Structure 1
Amino acid sequence: MLGIVIVYYNQPQLIRQTIKLLAEDESIPEHRIVVVDNNSDLPCPRDLASTTVKIHRASINGGYAFAVNTGIEYLLETTPTEIDTILVATHEVLFAPNCVSELYTALQFLPSHCVVGPAMHEGHLDGPIWSFGGYFTRAGRALHSSVDEGSATVPAAWIDGAAMMFSLESWRQVGGLDEGYFLYFEEIDFCQRLASIGGTVSCIGSARAAQSMGDQTPRLKFRNGIYYHWRWSRRRTLLTWIAAETVRLIIRHPSRVAQALDGARLGLDWVKNAKGGQL
């Protein structure tokens, strides 16, 4: 059975649309949905609950990875039928008809520990492509491919966490998503950890979804980027990434450099703690 975890925070109208599109898609295999409300000021509407949709309100806002892990654990505790596949989505994602079933079918034919995701359109389903999977530049920047590859299945370095599917066994094998990130890089880290045990990452071009891109917080981006690259990249790549992102921020958003510096300090502290007090 397919378990669907939707991460929700403060957007009651958007979650209604996401649930509506999922409910109208009769091609989706047998499934259960849990909406994890990250302790929102504007709670997830209770009238969305049904026999297939459960709402779980967390006592804290623990971030994206916390909500995903909590949602999967909730599904396992409350669903009598065995769940073997997980779809993760955020509250504003619009799934095209057959998107979920295309992802589900593709995953069944891939080796163990794989992650798949849809081609993502900007804003609405007839908008331009903004992500056909993710890749890394030579400077270590994590970017989205915006080239529309049609219905092809395209290898990627990572899949955007707005919509990704994987097996329950894969999630268990790597110990879930790393909740230390809170926001940004946790899906990239998850894809990297699955790749480290032989998994692959693919964008399924026949599966389409849409999302409006949001702005990133420099503080968390720098904090998490430093930890991610310390964990997975060569030290030269880490330093190159810091330099490239700093220059880009100075040029485009000079007023936010102080936030980035604070994030960099937090990232270095995280690395120091992970290494037992030494950099």
Structure 2
Amino acid sequence: MKQVSIITVNYNQPEVTEELLKSLREVNTYKPLEIIVVDNGSRNNPVPTWKATYPGITFIRSEVNTGFAGGNDLGIASATGDYLFLINNDTEVTAGLIGGLVSTMEGNSAIGIISPKIHYFDQPGMLQYAGYTPMNYFTARNSCIGQFEKDEGQYDSLSGVTGYIHGAAMMIRREALEKVGGMAENYFLYYEELDWCERIRRAGYEIHTDLSVLIYHKESVSVGKRSALKEYFMNRNRILFIRKNTGLGTFCVFFLYFLATVVPRNLLSYVVKREFSFIPVLLRAVAWHFTNKTDSKHLGYVIPGQI
């Protein structure tokens, strides 16, 4: 059997991470398995306690918060598996999940990366993800298939090629990883998995879903439903994604669309909702692109414990 490396990142949510580890221990049936937990600069370092409590699991401590991509890349660097399964710490697995994904990957060498079906944890039976539609590069818009719908199997026939995987649960083939490398860390948060898919596709692989297997996701445990952090990186990285993955002409059309449509709409929303503190956040997100290259490591946002 192929070895799978499970990689998950903890940031100030030790209890949530422990629930995932319990799920992997008590629910998962696939062996052999390597589990790697990266603590991404949490205020209180849980790693010493975890090492004593969970023998056989690899724990890595970063003294600073390196973001979603950076934390996962630390785990990737230590992973030895034939397949690497990156899952959010706010997920819980089902019994046949890992074995099902491996079987699908083994049966089709064209698959570079794959995601399972995702349900909301607090509303079992409600879909969060059953695939993504392709990206419209002129608007940087696409759709998550099935989100908020009751799962009655209506999308199960869509297993196969999809627009993008979901960052909460993604299994990558080692061969593909060695060709494209890890995720781009200057995204820090949001769009990094979409960028990864673009690079994997350009390397000649397909992006797939396997909707015969399921994972549960406790959405927004780490970031929250709405915050300045989220507003900044969602807007900055939406632009960055198009800059990195399209030609100059397409980017110019998109950027004009963003300035003429997205910025005024967001500003009006902030005013109506009296979220005035988000106004400079949005403006900084746009301004970053006038002074930074696409591979710039300067985030343009102060991350506690990092900058």
TM-score (norm 1): 0.86
Which amino acid in structure 2 is aligned with residue 250 of structure 1?
Answer: L
- Residue 205 of structure 1 corresponds to which residue in structure 2? 211
Residue 204 of structure 1 aligns to a residue whose secondary structure is strand
Counterpart pick for 2:180 among 174, 179, 183: 174
| Contact kept in structure 1, 2:183 and 2:192, CA below 8 Å | yes
Over the matched positions of the two proteins, sequence identity in percent amounts to: 22
Which amino acid in structure 2 is aligned with residue 106 of structure 1?
Answer: T
Q: Distance in 1 between matches of 2:269 and 2:120?
A: 22
Q: Distance in 2 between matches of 1:27 and 1:10?
A: 28
2:278 is equivalent to residue 269 of structure 1: no
| Contact kept in structure 2, 1:117 and 1:163, CA below 8 Å | yes
Trace 1:32-43 onto structure 2 (pairs within 5 A).
Answer: 32-43=34-45
- Residue 143 of structure 1 corresponds to which residue in structure 2? 143
Counterpart pick for 1:74 among 72, 78, 97: 78
Counterpart pick for 2:237 among 209, 224, 245: 224
Q: 1:62 deviation in Å?
A: 0.8
Q: Distance in 2 between matches of 1:231 and 1:75?
A: 27
Q: 1:250 deviation in Å?
A: 3.5
Q: Distance in 2 between matches of 1:212 and 1:257?
A: 29
Q: 1:40 deviation in Å?
A: 0.3
- Residue 130 of structure 2 corresponds to which residue in structure 1? 132
Trace 1:45-124 onto structure 2 (pairs within 5 A).
Answer: 46-49=48-51, 50-76=54-80, 83-112=81-110, 114-124=112-122
Q: Distance in 2 between matches of 1:219 and 1:14?
A: 25
Which amino acid in structure 2 is aligned with residue 101 of structure 1?
Answer: G
| Contact kept in structure 1, 2:186 and 2:295, CA below 8 Å | no
Alpha carbons of 1:3 and 1:258: their partners in 2 closer, same or farther (altered >3 Å)? Answer: same
Segments of structure 1 that go 5 or more residues without pairing to the other structure are: 77-82, 275-279
Q: Distance in 2 between matches of 1:42 and 1:97?
A: 32
Which amino acid in structure 2 is aligned with residue 120 of structure 1?
Answer: I
Q: 1:44 deviation in Å?
A: 3.5
Aligned-pair RMSD on alpha carbons? 2.3
Q: Distance in 2 between matches of 1:207 and 1:195?
A: 23
| Contact kept in structure 1, 2:4 and 2:82, CA below 8 Å | yes
2:194 is equivalent to residue 188 of structure 1: yes
| Contact kept in structure 1, 2:28 and 2:94, CA below 8 Å | no
| Contact kept in structure 1, 2:243 and 2:294, CA below 8 Å | no
Q: 1:258 deviation in Å?
A: 2.5
Q: 1:86 deviation in Å?
A: 0.2
Q: Distance in 1 between matches of 2:259 and 2:108?
A: 35
Q: Distance in 1 between matches of 2:107 and 2:162?
A: 17
Residue 34 of structure 1 aligns to a residue whose secondary structure is strand
Runs of 4+ in 1 over 6 A off after TM superposition: none
- Residue 21 of structure 2 corresponds to which residue in structure 1? 19
Q: 1:127 deviation in Å?
A: 4.0
TM-score (norm 2): 0.79
- Paired residues, number: 268
| Contact kept in structure 1, 2:9 and 2:39, CA below 8 Å | yes
- Residue 277 of structure 1 corresponds to which residue in structure 2? none
Counterpart pick for 2:254 among 224, 237, 241: 237
